[in-house]
Chains A and B, each alone.
Chain A
Amino acid sequence: NAGVTQTPKFQVLKTGQSMTLQCAQDMNHNSMYWYRQDPGMGLRLIYYSASEGTTDKGEVPNGYNVSRLNKREFSLRLESAAPSQTSVYFCASIISRGAEAFFGQGTRLTVV
């Protein structure tokens, strides 16, 4: 039982490049989330998906798009990376409202 798996773990992009961060959970959870973590800022919600087929913006959605491909997978896409998107990205999932969240190990992204 792997829990929440994020790929890649590390990535360096040049400004303007695009990439997709992958997240998959094997716990049959309904809701999935993408956060970014910057020093001194805690975690900020980018996008979330309450259930398969639905996505909603969080606190800092600009510059990102998401796809809830199926119940297991929730991807985050940067269409044109900017240095301000240098951060550590975390995916999380929750089985139902009111439950605890399970986090992946993170993707450390650097945009140069």
Chain B
Amino acid sequence: SQQGEEDPQALSIQEGENATMNCSYKTSINNLQWYRQNSGRGLVHLILIRSNEREKHSGRLRVTLDTSKKSSSLLITASRAADTASYFCATVLFQGAQKLVFGQGTRLTINP
């Protein structure tokens, strides 16, 4: 079974608005990562937050992590049409080797 679950599964907003995606997971983690996937392409890493961090920023991205609730959120501010993509959270478990376990993703559509 998959570790993470994203919410919502799909999100459609107007350009310029903020987009928030949530991720919940089940077990203790070492870190949590967010990835972006454009249609028909591979995944691209966006941001990583460690288990001892609560918030992290990168450009228009803001990620929060609440380990007590086993949840994370990704906020994209001032969205652009080019942000249209699927976004995945991935929890990182250290079980001998590192295992990256993905959620089902949020499909984000930015309407011009």
Q: Which residues of A contact B (CB under 8 A)?
A: 4, 31, 33, 35, 40-45, 48-51, 54, 56, 58-59, 90, 92, 94, 97-106
B contact face: mostly helix, strand, loop, or mixed: strand
Residue contact A33 to B100, C-beta cutoff 8 Å? yes
B-side interface residues, number (CB < 8 Å): 28
Using known A-B contacts A42-B2, A44-B2, A104-B42, determine if residue A98 contacts B98 with beta carbons closer than 8 Å.
yes
In the assembled complex, 29 residue pairs joining A and B whose CB atoms fall closer than 8 Å, in A order, are A31-B97, A35-B102, A41-B2, A42-B2, A42-B103, A42-B104, A43-B43, A43-B102, A44-B102, A45-B100, A48-B97, A49-B97, A50-B96, A50-B98, A54-B97, A90-B43, A94-B100, A98-B30, A98-B31, A98-B98, A100-B33, A101-B43, A101-B90, A101-B100, A102-B45, A104-B42, A105-B41, A105-B42, A106-B40
Q: Which residues of B contact A (CB under 8 A)?
A: 1-2, 30-31, 33, 35, 40-45, 48, 50, 88, 90, 92, 94, 96-105
Q: How far is the CA of A47 from the CA of B62 in the complex (A)?
A: 32
Residues of B within 8 A of A42 (CB): 2, 88, 102-105
Residue contact B43 to A103, C-beta cutoff 8 Å? yes
Q: How far is the CB of A11 from chain B (nearest CB, A)?
A: 15
Q: How far is the CA of A53 from the CA of B48 in the complex (A)?
A: 28
Q: How far is the CA of A86 from the CA of B103 in the complex (A)?
A: 20
